[in-house]
C-alpha cells in the first residue's frame, strides 16, 4: 500500500445522498480550505462520481471515487457502514445497492406520514422537494421541512430524537444489505473495502469476520473518534494488516455535529501504519 501526501478528506456526503451541499460546492470549498484530496462517499450510490471527477479536474483537485454502503451484520443485528474506494465497476455497485436505497426512501416517506399523523405539518411532497439528485428522501429532509416551519432550529436534537428514536412515530424499519455482501460487493467490483467510524455502531468486534470477507482498511480519523479510540483502531489495524483512512463525515447543514470539511486536518494517517492511497503531483 502507498501513502497519501497532503491534506485529505476521504469521507464526504453531497446532495447525491444526504448531504446539503452539491458536488460543485464541496469541491470549491475543499480548494478554499487547501485540501489536496477528497473522496465523496455518498450512501449506497456511485451515480454522482462522474460529476465529482469532472469538478475535481476543473478545479485541479485530486479525487478518489468512493461510496458508503449501509449494512447490517446478520448474526448480531448490528448496523455498520462500509466505505468503498477506487471501485472499478461503479455502475455494478450502484445497481446492487439501488433496491436497498429505494426501500430506505420508502421508509422515510412512511415515517413522514406517521409524523404528520402525530400532529406535525409535514407531508410527502415537503420531503420529496428537499431530496437530492437521486430523488431518495432521508430523515434529514423530514427535519429540514419541520425546521422551515419553526418546529426546530436544528436537524439533530430533541425533536429528532423524539420523532425517530425508539418508540417515536418515525421509527420505521427498512432493509439492509448484509455486512458480508457489502464487503464482497466492493471487492468483487474492484474496490477497496474500509470499515467506517468503527465505534459509532460498535463495529470493532466484527473485525475478524469483516477481514475474513475481504476488508482491507479501517477509518481511524473521524470526528467521533477520541485519542483512546484511535489508539485501539491503530492497534487492531496492525493486528489485521489493515490500512488507515480518515475523514470528516461531512454532511454540511445535515451533519450530526458541527464539523468542517477536512476535519480532522490529517484526514489520512501515514507513517507507522499503512495507508491505502497516494497523491503524487496531483494525480492518483
User: What's the pTM value of the predicted model, to 2 decimals?
Assistant: 0.91
- 8-91+179-254 — its CATH code? 3.20.20.140
Predicted local confidence at residue 262, as pLDDT: 87
Query: Which residues of the chain are under the pLDDT cut of 70?
Result: 1-5, 264-284
Which three cell numbers mark 238? 496492525
The pLDDT value recorded for residue 89 is: 98
- Sheet bearing 37-40, strands edge to edge: 8-12, 37-40, 62-63
Buried b / exposed e over 155-185, threshold 16 CB at 10 Å, is bbeebbeebbeeebbbebebebbebbbbbeb
Q: Give the strand pairing for 8-12 and 177-178.
A: unpaired
What pLDDT sits at residue 256?
Answer: 85
Residue 2's pLDDT is: 55
- Sort strands 79-85 and 62-63 into parallel, antiparallel or unpaired: unpaired
Q: Quick check: helix, strand or coil at residue 255?
A: coil
pLDDT at 280: 37
| Straight-line distance from the first to the last Cα atom of the chain, in angstroms, rounded to the nearest whole number | 13
171 with 49: CB under 8 angstroms?
Answer: no
CB 7 within 8 A of CB 262: yes
Task: Give the Å distances, CA to CA, from 84 to 57, 104, 161, 192.
Answer: 21, 20, 30, 5
CB 169 within 8 A of CB 191: no
Rounded Cα distance, 274 and 1, in Å: 6
> Within the chain, which residue ranges are assigned CATH 3.20.20.140?
8-91+179-254
Show Cβ contacts of residue 153 under 8 Å, excluding neighbours closer than 6 positions.
147
pLDDT at 269: 41
Q: How far does CA 167 lie from the centroid of its chain?
A: 26
Amino acid at each position: 500500500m502507498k501513502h497519501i501526501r497532503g491534506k485529505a478528506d476521504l469521507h464526504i456526503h453531497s446532495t447525491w445522498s444526504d448531504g446539503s451541499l452539491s458536488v460543485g460546492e464541496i469541491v470549491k470549498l475543499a480548494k478554499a480550505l487547501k485540501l489536496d484530496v477528497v473522496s465523496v462517499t455518498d450512501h449506497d450510490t456511485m451515480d454522482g462520481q462522474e460529476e465529482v471527477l469532472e469538478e475535481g479536474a476543473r478545479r485541479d483537485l485530486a479525487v478518489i471515487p468512493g461510496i458508503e454502503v449501509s449494512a447490517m451484520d446478520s448474526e448480531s443485528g448490528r448496523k455498520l457502514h462500509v466505505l468503498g474506494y477506487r471501485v472499478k465497476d461503479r455502475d455494478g455497485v450502484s445497481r446492487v445497492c439501488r433496491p436497498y436505497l429505494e426501500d430506505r426512501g420508502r421508509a422515510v416517506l412512511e415515517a413522514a406520514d406517521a409524523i404528520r399523523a402525530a400532529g406535525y405539518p409535514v407531508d410527502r411532497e415537503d420531503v420529496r422537494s428537499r431530496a437530492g439528485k437521486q430523488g431518495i428522501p432521508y430523515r434529514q429532509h423530514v427535519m429540514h421541512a419541520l425546521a422551515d416551519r419553526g418546529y426546530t432550529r436544528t436537524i439533530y436534537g430533541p425533536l429528532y430524537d423524539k420523532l425517530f428514536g425508539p418508540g417515536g412515530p418515525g421509527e420505521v424499519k427498512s432493509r439492509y444489505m448484509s455486512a458480508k455482501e457489502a464487503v464482497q460487493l466492493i471487492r468483487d467490483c474492484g474496490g477497496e473495502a474500509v470499515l467506517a467510524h468503527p465505534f459509532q455502531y460498535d463495529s470493532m468486534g466484527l473485525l475478524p469476520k469483516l477481514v475474513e470477507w475481504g476488508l482491507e482498511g479501517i477509518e481511524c480519523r473521524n470526528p467521533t473518534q477520541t485519542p483512546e479510540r484511535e489508539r485501539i483502531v491503530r492497534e487492531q489495524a496492525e493486528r489485521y494488516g489493515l490500512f488507515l483512512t480518515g475523514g470528516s463525515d461531512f454532511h454540511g447543514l445535515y451533519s450530526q455535529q458541527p464539523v468542517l470539511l477536512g476535519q480532522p486536518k490529517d484526514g489520512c494517517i501515514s507513517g507507522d501504519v499503512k495507508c491505502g492511497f497516494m497523491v503524487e503531483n496531483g494525480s492518483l
